[in-house]
Amino acid sequence: MLSRVASSIYWLNRYIERAENYARFMEVNLNLSLDLPRGTTEQWEPLVATTGDHERFTGRYGKATRETVIQFLLADATNSNSILSCLLAARENARTVREVISTEMWEQVNRFYLMVRDGVSKGLSSKTLHTFLTDVKANSHLFLGITDATMSHGEGWHFARLGRLLERADKTSRILDVKYFMLLPTVAEVGTPFDIIQWSALLKSASALEMYCKQHGRISPNTVAEFLILNPNFPRAIRYCLIKAEDSLHAIVGSESDRHSNLAEKRLGRLRSEMDYADMADILSAGLHEFFDDFQLKLNRTDDAIYETFFALRPVEGNMQKEKVQ
Amino acid sequence: MGIRFSHYDPEGFYDELYEEKGQPRPGSALLLRKFASLPEGELQKRQQAAERVILNMGMTFGVYGSADGHEQIFPFDIVPRIVSATDWEHIESGLRQRMRALNLFIDDVYHDQKILKNGVIPNDLIYSSKGFLQPCMGLHPPHGIWCHIAGIDLVRISDGRYYVLEDNMRCPSGVAYVLEARQVMKRTFPELFDAYRVRPVDGYPSQLLDTLRHLSDLPDPTVVILTPGIYNSAYYEHSLLAQKMGMELVEANDLVVVDGSVHMRTTKRLQRVDVIYRRINDDYLDPLAFRRDSVLGVPGLMESYKRGRVALANAPGTGVSDDKAIYAYIPKIINYYLAEEPILPNVPTYICSDTGDRTYVLEHLDQLVVKATNEAGGYGMMIGPHASKQERADCARRIEADPRNYIAQPTLALSRVPTLVEDHLEGRHVDLRPYVLYGREVYVLPGGMTRVALRKGSLVVNSSQGGGNKDTWVLS
């Protein structure tokens, strides 16, 4: 597969997944805001902080309010990570690989883009916002389903899955961070009904409430965090994402699962095994936020390694001169 | 009560669907009866449905400078153009003849130049052509074929005859719209396809693939399409053809010449490429061979091509045959190489580098269409009767400054096809671009791109300038 094509498929899927997760960010915050006690002001600034685009936001909007943050994360074409920008980028990437992906995949990306573009241009009120965010998630799921059902599960598909799962692992860590920023739980508040409501809102936003309840029943902060970080079977849990991403990486390279033959495999393998051997007590004692910072840094390095290993167009040692003399 | 067809008036133009007012041509009577039987508003509904299909398919063409992903939806009209079997037989034989003659011509120009020695074409016309490439002298493309893929523009005028308007022998585009227009029409009017026997166009990709594979001696050559990238206005077509032929769509950066052969960079290794269907212009193929200032292209590609390590379709240098001044000599070219009379006539053409012609052109600018000899896509064109005094004066200055770069033709009363305008049909001018492939033999796709000037009275059919598209039904 062409390096450029592999890169486009990878990024196509990262952007779709990113758009979906930005919808989840907003949803979790909207849900949390609805449950805030009277008199408390809504907290939108933390949401921007978790995306890592804090400086850009402040430069452009100044104060973080519901309107400005939603505009920035959803509709701002100058924010390269807004949902609108993600869809534009996803579609541009899809256009460059139309001959590799199925017609159905292309048409879904196109419809998804048109839906977001039209939604943004019509303007979103608090009434329509929920439906819009739900539609973003549904369209992302539809794309994922169409990909699985219409694309050969070969190299291209594995690059797609690799991109999607690394993006998802990163964003799940950030959704958990929203809660962390939202309200540093004082010891007194932990376990209060209000705290429980917030954690279940968060589970909902990760589409994890039912699966969590099946496994744990009772909602407690530690088990929720554990579920979303360390569960090997829940598809939005960080560990699950890393396990499957690593499977895809091995499938691309053609290497055995316990070996590494390049930097990408080495870094991803190491990160995955850290998750295998981590437990919540360690994570909490180091601090949840610090844990996520460290995780996101390592994930970025893995992404760098993937770029270097598969996508970078290095100059090739050719020998035109010699050829001409002969 | 649907659209009242009795009101439709060809207004003295040759109409592709009507013999005269109220009198459909034999091939279109069924279509028009069907349209007339549709309930009020149904035709507009189908038009809107077709536009939605096009939007969801992402069937677009690029327009530079637009913010919204650089694309526009391709304007499409649901009333098809119908070509009778007899007309098509005539067109097809004319195109085969032209394709063979032009290939013999190109091969001669880059070898013995007998046609120049025999005085059929003036030497300086060839050497001053921008499409003539000195580095191609003496090259032997596989099977002696230079132009494998051509799109030849035809027009029909008041006398009912088809004329060749221009030959596109470099990188003709538009065939994707032929394939997609048919898909849209099948979704929009399935019942009509049951009633009519329309010759299918879906065979084009496999014909093209055969043509490209014919360029290599290998049993299973690696064939790729080379595109300038997503900002090219025909990118949609490049990706569609790559998809339908199951081949890689590469950009220049994906290719590298190593030890004299062309390779593509994959995630695992460099992979040898044997045949390139290139959709970039000669100038940008190889910065070492043509434009040293260019950052585009694949360094070393021409050298590899010259050594026969890779085949290119079309071969570099075919532009000499679609130079609009050389066009005027094509009837003579056909006669010279094939000893036949041209089946499809040319449009009378005045060559501005000829003193007598130039004087005539400058005196009759208000009646003529002036075209730049080396431009395509309707750029550099001046339509005398529709131009302002100032535009004509500017045009005259350009002609006097660089006569070799201009030709002129009479303003043609292009034939028309009924076209949906709001709630009724009006005649709009059309041309026709059939596609011709030259591999083992010459193949003509039964159909083609019917471009329609959507603006009332306009003669400009180019999509960049208010043109749209219609499906072309060749009846069997």
Q: How confident is the model at residue B339 (pLDDT cuts 50, 70, 90)?
A: very high
Give the number of C-alpha atoms closer than 13 A to the C-alpha of residue B348, restricted to the C-beta side: 8
- Separation of alpha carbons A206 and A27, rounded Å: 10
- The H-or-E segment that residue A109 falls in is helix A103-122
Which residues from chain A sit within 8 angstroms of residue B260, using beta carbons? Answer: 320, 323
Mean pLDDT computed over A228-253: 96
Q: Rounded distance, CA B22 to CA B8, Å?
A: 7
Confidence of residue A322 (pLDDT cuts 50, 70, 90): very low
Separation CA B276–CA B263 (nearest Å): 11
The Cα–Cα gap between B342 and B336 comes to 11
**Which pLDDT score, from 0 to 100, does residue A244 have?**
97
Compute φ and ψ for A98, nearest 5 degrees. Answer: -55, -30
pLDDT for position A324? 34
Instruction: Please tell me the total number of residues recorded for chain A in this structure.
Output: 326
Q: Which two tokens stand for residue B358?
A: 């130039």
Pairwise CA distance, residues B144 & B154, whole Å: 26
User: Mapping DSSP to helix (H, G, I), strand (E, B) and coil, where does residue A130 land?
Assistant: helix
Cα(B51)–Cα(B31) distance, integer angstroms: 20
Residue B134's pLDDT band (cuts 50, 70, 90)? very high
Q: Which residue has the higher pLDDT, A165 or A125?
A: A165
Asked if the Cβ–Cβ distance from B260 to A323 is below 8 Å, we say yes
List pLDDT tens digits, range A68-90: 999 999 999 999 999 999 999 99
- pLDDT at position B27 over 90: yes
- Enumerate the residues of chain A whose CB falls inside 8 A of the CB of residue B299: 320
Domain residue ranges in chain A: 3-314
Q: Mean pLDDT lowest for which of A257-261, B115-119, B211-215?
A: A257-261
Minimum mean pLDDT among B59-63, B307-311, B363-367, B410-414: which range?
B59-63
Residues 6 or more apart in contact with residue A135 via CB below 8 angstroms: A115, A119
Tell me how many residue pairs between chain A and chain B have CB atoms under 8 A apart.
87
To the nearest whole percent, how much of chain A has pLDDT over 70? 90
Nearest Cα to Cα of residue A211 among A240, A234, A232, A179: A234
Q: What are the residues whose beta carbons fall under 8 Å from the beta carbon of B215, sequence distance 6 or more? A: B141, B142, B143, B148, B221, B275, B311, B313
Mutate to test the interface with B, among A95, A265, A313 (most CBs of B within 10 A): A95
What is the reported pLDDT for B381? 85
What's the rounded Cα separation, in Å, for the pair B331 and B101?
Answer: 10
Which of A92, A319, A324 has its CB closest to that of B69? A92
Q: Give the confidence band of A183 by pLDDT, cuts at 50, 70, 90.
A: low
The amino acid sitting at B241 is L
B97 — pLDDT class (breaks 50, 70, 90): very high
* A289–chain B Cβ distance below 8 A for any pair: no
Q: How far is A182 from chain B (nearest CA, A)?
A: 36
Calculate how close chain B gets to A166, using CA atoms only, in Å: 19
B464-474 residue pLDDT tens: 677 899 999 99
Residue-level pLDDT at A268: 96
Q: How confident is the model at residue B185 (pLDDT cuts 50, 70, 90)?
A: very high
Task: Please state the rounded mean pLDDT for residues A11-26.
Answer: 95
Pairwise pLDDT comparison (B107 vs A196), residue with the higher score: B107
CB contact under 8 A, B243 and A88: no
Q: What is the pLDDT of residue B378?
A: 66
Return the residue matching tokens 């003669």: B459
CA B379 to chain centre: 14
Phi-psi region of B182 (alpha: psi -120 to 50; beta: other; left: phi over 0): alpha
> Is B353 within 8 Å of B404 (Cβ atoms)?
yes
The label of the residue with tokens 């839906």 reads A115
Is the CB of A305 inside 8 Å of chain B's CB atoms? no
pLDDT tens digit string along B216-255? Answer: 999 999 999 999 988 888 888 998 999 899 899 999 999 9
- For position B71, what pLDDT does the model report? 62
Q: Which two tokens stand for residue B131?
A: 């499409």
Q: Is the pLDDT of residue A315 over 70?
A: no
B261 strand-pairing partners: B258
The single-letter code of the amino acid at B276 is I
From the list B55, B56, B230, the residue facing A95 with the nearest CB is B230
Cis peptide before B314 (omega within 30 of 0): yes
Confidence of residue A314 (pLDDT cuts 50, 70, 90): low
H/E segment holding residue A136: helix A126-150
Contact B422, B391 (CB under 8 A): no
Per-residue DSSP letter, A71: I
Predicted confidence at residue B144, as pLDDT, reads 95
Given CB atoms, is A313 within the 8 Å cutoff of chain B?
A: yes
CA torsion, ordered A279, A281, A283, A285, to nearest 10 deg: -160
Q: Is the pLDDT of residue A37 over 50?
A: yes
What pLDDT sits at residue B66? 44
Q: pLDDT by residue (tens digit) across A187-219?
A: 556 567 777 777 888 888 888 999 999 999 888
User: How high does pLDDT run on average in chain A?
Assistant: 87
B88 has a pLDDT exceeding 70: yes
Contact B429, B350 (CB under 8 A): no
pLDDT digits (tens, 9 = 90+) for A256-291: 777 788 999 999 999 999 999 999 998 888 888 889
**Residue B247 and residue A319: Cβ atoms within 8 Å?**
no
Contact A114 B55 (CB under 8 A): yes
CA distance B392 to B365: 7
Long-range contacts of B375-382 (CB under 8 A, 24+ apart): B376/B166, B376/B168, B376/B170, B377/B462, B377/B464, B378/B460, B378/B461, B378/B462, B378/B464, B378/B465, B381/B460
pLDDT band at A124 (very low <50, low <70, confident <90, very high): confident
| Closest by Cα among A65, A75, A83 to A124 | A75
Cα dihedral angle (A80, A90, B48, B84), rounded to 10 degrees?
130
HEC string of chain B equals: CCCCHHHCCCCCCCECCEEECCEECHHHHHHHHHHHHCCCCHHHHHHHHHHHHHHHHCCEEECCCCCCCCEEECCEEEEEEEECHHHHHHHHHHHHHHHHHHHHHHHHHCCCCHHHHCCCCCHHHHHCCCCCCHHHCCCCCHHHCCCCEEEEEEEECCCCCEEEEEEECCCCCCHHHHHHHHHHHHHHCHHHHHHCCECCCCCHHHHHHHHHHCCCCCCCCCEEEECCCCCCCCHHHHHHHHHHHCCEEECHHHEEEECCEEEEEECCCEEECCEEEECCCHHHCCCCCCCCCCCCCCCCHHHHHHCCCCEEECCCCHHHHCCHHHHCCHHHHHHHHHCCCCCCCECCCEECCCHHHHHHHHHCCCCEEEEECCCCCCCCEEEHHHCCHHHHHHHHHHHHHCHHHEEEEECCCCCEEEEEECCEEEEEEEEEECEEEECCCEEECCCCEEEEECCCCCCCCCHHHCEEEEEEEEEC
Mean pLDDT, rounded, of chain B: 91
Chain-centre distance for alpha carbon B151: 4
Neighbours of B96 (CB within 10 A): 17
Residue to test with chain A: of B180, B267, B286, B298, most A Cβ within 10 A: B267
Q: Which residue of A lies nearest to B251 if distances are taken between CA atoms?
A: A4
Q: Is B258 within 8 Å of A319 when comparing Cβ atoms?
A: yes
Q: Which residue in B58, B235, B256 is closest to A106 by CB distance?
A: B58
Q: Nearest CA of chain B to the CA of A173: how many Å? A: 30
| Cα–Cα dist B372/B233, whole Å | 21
Helices A193-205 and A209-216: crossing angle in degrees, nearest 10, is: 120
CA distance A82 to A94: 18
Distance CA A135, CA A74 (A): 13
pLDDT value, residue A195: 74
C-alpha to C-alpha distance for B222 and B271, rounded to whole angstroms: 9
Q: Is the pLDDT of residue A170 over 60?
A: yes
> Does pLDDT of A326 surpass 80?
no
Q: What is the pLDDT of residues B377-409, one digit of tens each?
A: 667 789 999 899 999 999 999 999 999 999 999
Say if residue B51 is exposed, middle or buried (CB neighbours under 10 Å; 0-12, 13-18, 19+).
middle
For residue A152, the SS3 value is coil
pLDDT at B69 over 60: no
Locus of tokens 């034939």: B415
- All structural domains of chain B: 91-166+202-338 (3.40.50.11290), 350-410 (3.30.1490.270)
Tell me the C-alpha distance between A64 and A70, whole Å: 9
